[in-house]
Structure 1
Amino acid sequence: MNEQKSFQDNSFGSLFLIPTPIGNLEDMTFRAVRQLEDVDLIAAEDTRNTKNLLNHFKIDTTQISFHEHNKVQRIPELIEKLKKGINIAQVSDAGTPSISDPGKELVQEAIKQGINVIPLPGATASITALIASGLVPQPFYFYGFLTRKGKQRNEEIEDIVNRVETSIIYESPFRVLKTLDDIRKVAGDDRQIVTARELTKIHESFVRGAIKEVKQWFVEHDPKGEFVIVVSGKKQVSEINVDNTDIKKEVQALIDDGYKPKAAIKEIANLVNKSKNEVYDIYHEL
């Protein structure tokens, strides 16, 4: 049992989790700037990268490196400083700490030691992509980066494709085509998918459509920049009544979600064990 009252007096220092811009420096909040000025120390994933951010906002707080490769050594050191009353801000290179970035182990240890962990809201690529995707925004399932290869990767993709929730994946430009192809092999040609790249930057762009169309787009256009892939959820047979009125509603719901009529009819036909022609006639009947 652990109750935290974040802003009451505490003999220890506090660990502040501060999001940083995912592209546009104006993503930075007033509170985040003030907090970086006020803390005693900034634990940064890459001190060189964070130095550019601090210089832009004229912040001269001391930094210490804290990343995946030195976390075992660094966590006890940071905890000891917090116990001495030193306030520390943790930042990653971009976005919210601990989300596909180092940090969760420090948070866990701080909580274990009775140190207040205070999160600030701010930039995160997953939610930014989701709300502009045009797909159903809730419920959603955030996965982050897939395993690069092997059986585990195949199992991850299988799980994502078979979820009823909208799913969110992070991907590098070097593996976008492979990931789209792997998803297509499991989900088929017509699952709706959205790719978002270079979010909040000058080259921000979204590609929306059936997965076969999105994949073809990137065959013809070289993928560049960091990607968020948003995958629509799978319809469940149990959700659909074979009554004609309900079939029409389900087809229309898929169209409203971004499916083309032909793809929506095919999807529902598969789910209710009817031919595409039957569902076509049901959907278009007066």
Structure 2
Amino acid sequence: MSAQQSVKEAQNNPGTLYIVPTPIGNLSDMTERAIRTLLEVDYVAAEDTRHSKPLLQQVGSKARLIALHEHNEKQKTAAVMELLSNGLNVALISDAGTPLISDPGYIIVSRCRQQGLPVVALPGPCAITTALSGAGVATDRFSFEGFLAAKPQQRKKQLAALAEESRTMVFYETPHRIMHTLEDIYQTLGDGRELVLARELTKQFETYLYGNASQLLQRLTDDPNQQRGEMVLIISGYVAPVDADDQPDLQAQKALAILVQELPLKKAAAIVAQLYDERKNALYQWGLKNLNN
């Protein structure tokens, strides 16, 4: 085959960019598909090559490593795109969990989509979904807010903007900021929200701490060990106060309490609202306050 034919074949059969989740703690969470992908690709674009090299050695991957992180993603994207255009396969991994979730990768995936290059995202470990599924909070609607700002004034401004967010809110947080963040939550949102602090997920000292902001502050003050490790902070959504005149009829309340055992609250509220000529939102808000324990 001539060099010209080889280039043409690569253009007609470009490589694939694989988005490969890696364990957030427990190495047993590495899926068979993720391992097979790392064994088969030509290159691995890693957030921190020093961190990822032992993982590749453990699974037996001989792929070449490329450093791709938040500080060089724009510059490295062109090089990775060239590899893909030449028919080579590349896996994108972060230090832990699913790439692009508060981690680099958006630019390169966006460019691949724009240019029609294949992108395959693998399912796998993610701290957000792990924390939510184990926390026992409302998960029918939630928003992921990433990391709050490091500077107190900006952090308080972000929290104030979320004061009336009705969805469950999920944040990543760092050990050296968690106490300041909880203090800002207390000052900005008050003490009426349920909080869950999920620590060291999938690891030996995995812990879920529950309470309002002041209770968690006290818990972490009493036990400084709880201020360590990787953290996911969950805040319950805003529930608008219900006026006394806006309380659902007693029979509607009873019907909602029965239906919600079999249906999501929103759907149950819609059915009861039709049956009893009540306002759906009033029923929903009443249910959040009285039936979501």
* Letter matched to residue 38 of structure 1: E
In the alignment, what sits opposite 1:264? none
Per-residue deviation, residues 150-192 of structure 1 (Å, max 9, x unmatched): 5432221123332100000000010101111111112211210
Distance 1:224 1:217, change over 3 A: same
Q: Is the 8 A contact 1:190 1:212 kept in 2?
A: no
Out of 181, 191, 194, which is 1:192 matched to? 194
Which of 237, 242, 246 lines up with 1:233 in the alignment?
237
- Would the alpha carbon gap of residues 12 and 238 (structure 1) be closer, same or farther in structure 2, given more than 3 Å must change? farther
Distance 2:214 2:153 in 1: 24
8 Å contact from structure 2 (residues 239, 288) kept in 1: no
CA distance in structure 1 between the partners assigned to 2:170 and 2:127 by the alignment: 10
- Could you say what secondary structure the match of 2:233 adopts? strand
Map of 1:281 onto structure 2: none
Q: Distance in 2 between matches of 1:10 and 1:233?
A: 50
In the TM superposition, what is the alpha-carbon distance from 1:112 to its structure 2 partner?
1.3
Query: CA offsets, 1:64-87, max 9 Å, x none?
Result: 111112222211111111111111
Deviates more, 1:234-243 or 1:179-188: 234-243
Match of 1:231, as an amino acid? Answer: I
Partner residue, 1:17: 19
1:254 matched to 2:289? The reply is: yes
Report the 3-state secondary structure (helix = DSSP H, G, I; strand = E; otherwise coil) of the residue aligned with 2:201: coil
For residues 1-286 of structure 1, the aligned pairs below 5 Å read: 11-149=13-151, 151-222=153-224, 223-237=227-241, 241-243=246-248, 245=250, 253-254=288-289, 257-258=292-293
Cα distance per residue 1:78-112 (max 9 Å; x no partner):
11111111110000000000111111011111111
For 1:34 and 1:255, the matched residues in 2 are separated by: 48
How far 1:212 moved relative to its partner? 1.8
* Range with greater deviation from structure 2 (62-71 or 248-257): 248-257
**CA RMSD of superposed structures (Å):** 2.2
Compared CA separation, residues 12 and 152, structure 1 to 2 (3 A): same
User: Can you list the C-alpha shifts for 1:213-266, whole angstroms capped at 9, x where unaligned?
Assistant: 1121112121000110000011124798334637897677436545xxxxxxxx
Hey, what's the Cα distance between the residues in 2 that align with 1:220 and 1:112? 52
> Does the aligned pair in 1 maintain the 2:159–2:189 contact within 8 Å?
no
> Are the aligned partners of 1:134 and 1:257 in contact in 2 as well (CA < 8 Å)?
no
Match of 2:278 in 1: none
TM-score (ref. length: structure 1): 0.81
* Matched letter for residue 234 of structure 1: Y
- 2:266 corresponds in structure 1 to none
**C-alpha separation in 2, matches of 1:229 and 1:141:** 12
For structure 2, the 5+ residue unaligned runs are 1-10, 258-284
Change (3 A) 1:196 1:51: same
Counterparts of 2:22 and 2:168, CA distance in 1: 25
TM-score (norm 2): 0.79
Q: Percent identity?
A: 39
Query: Which one is further off, 142-151 or 247-256?
Result: 247-256
CA contact (8 A) 1:173 1:224 kept: yes
Contact 1:161 1:187 in 2 (8 A): yes
**1:128 CA drift (Å):** 0.5
Name the structure where helix makes up a greater proportion of residues: 2
Q: Kindly provide the amino acid, as one letter, of the partner of residue 27 in structure 1.
A: D
Alignment-mate amino acid for residue 221 of structure 1: D
**Secondary structure of 1:72 counterpart:** helix
| 1:112-166 superposed Cα distances (whole Å, 9 cap, x missing partner) | 1111111000001011101111110120000111111154322211233321000
User: Closer, same or farther in 2 for the Cα pair 1:247/1:213, shift >3 Å?
Assistant: farther
CA–CA distance in structure 2, aligned partners of residues 236 and 73 of structure 1 = 47
> Contact (CA 8 Å) 1:161, 1:183: kept in 2 or not?
no
